[in-house]
Structure 1
Amino acid sequence: MWRSSGIQKAASNIEKHGVRFSDAATVLEDGMAMTVLDDESDPSEQRLVLLEADASGSILVVVYTWRGNDIRLISARRAEPREREEYEKQ
């Protein structure tokens, strides 16, 4: 199960990146998504970065962490050109 970091964080993500957390959560369900450890994150909270296409075909970059058995969404945005290239090579 996923959850956002809160209503304000979800609204801020839409304002900054134009991506709803509910849309980003759909790519979390794909077992073929490209996922890497965010080595720039705080060591006390392991963050993961996922690249995957959503239902409309947009490639999203989703940052998340695990909180117990739940996935906590941190941010979601459309991939930049170099990230799309990396994803398409996969």
Structure 2
Amino acid sequence: MKFEWDPAKAEKNDEKYGVSFDEAVTIFKDPHVLFHDDEEHSQKEKRELAIGRSGPRSRLLTCFIARTEDTVRIISARVSTHRERQDYDDNSETKILFQIK
């Protein structure tokens, strides 16, 4: 699978949300990554959101994407909301039972 994005958009995304697109692409290695249609933003093209754990920092991220057969275009990425985190936990086998601080 190939990934692409607009470099200017990636820079703005990192400044706004603190998530680089380089980190965002790592969620696609998460075996529990979830995909949902993003009907609200799918006027010109089919868009989806993907929720998964990033590799280097193990943060739960939500990425807004557009896919073709062999390419994923990252549109934006941010740390997942509480609701998205619940959705991920409810649909995966990776529930955190407790966390040591």
- Per the TM superposition, whether the score is higher than 0.5 is yes
TM value normalised by structure 1: 0.88
What's the RMSD between the two structures over aligned residues?
Answer: 1.5
In the TM superposition, 1:49-88 aligns within 5 A as 49-55=49-55, 56-67=57-68, 69-88=70-89
Identity %: 28
Could you say which structure has the larger radius of gyration? 2
Aligned residues: 89
Name structure 2 gaps, 5 residues minimum: 92-101
Task: Please list, as runs of the form range in 1=range in 2, the aligned pairs for 1:4-83 lying within 5 A after superposition.
Answer: 4=5, 6-55=6-55, 56-67=57-68, 69-83=70-84
- Please tell me the residue identity of whatever aligns with 2:83: R
The CA deviation at 1:84 is 0.9
Structure 1 counterpart SS, 2:62:
strand
Distance 1:31 1:45, change over 3 A: farther
What residue identity is the alignment partner of 1:20? S
Query: Scaled by the length of structure 2, what TM-score is found?
Result: 0.79
Q: Which moved more, 1:59-68 or 1:73-82?
A: 59-68
